[in-house]
Amino acid sequence: MAGIIADGVVKMLLAAAFIIGAARLGHLLGVSAWLMVISGVALLIGGGIEIRYVRSRPLPTYTRLMVAYDGGWVLAALAGLLTAWRGSSAGGEVWIGYQTAAPIVLAALLVTATPV
């Protein structure tokens, strides 16, 4: 359970960084500040739900969802890097887009999962 809580806390810390540093981080990643804020809010929701349901959802459910989330994160990061390496300015958008959608999907799946 400690790992699940830590994962949720990391999402929430990343959310705070995205929201607080939206303009600067957005500039570095080539995305607009508003997208950074929306992504931060999505991460905040995802991390909060992850922590909230830690005692009421089966650990195997969490394990599967966290593996899928992190696997998607790696693929999104690689796709973003490859896009940037090929000269496109959309690499940051690919990565931030994943950071916006995936936590909401994770949260929805946890909320609808069968309780323990």
Rounded CA gap, 30 and 54, in Å?
35
Q: Which amino acid is at 23?
A: A
- Does residue 12 register a pLDDT over 90? yes
pLDDT bin (cut points 50, 70, 90) of residue 87 is: confident
Rounded CA gap, 113 and 96, in Å?
26
pLDDT tens track for 38-84: 999 999 999 999 999 999 999 999 999 999 999 999 999 999 999 98
Q: What is the per-residue pLDDT for 1? A: 86
Q: Are 11 and 103 in contact (CB under 8 A)?
A: yes
pLDDT bin (cut points 50, 70, 90) of residue 116 is: confident
- Does residue 104 register a pLDDT over 90? yes
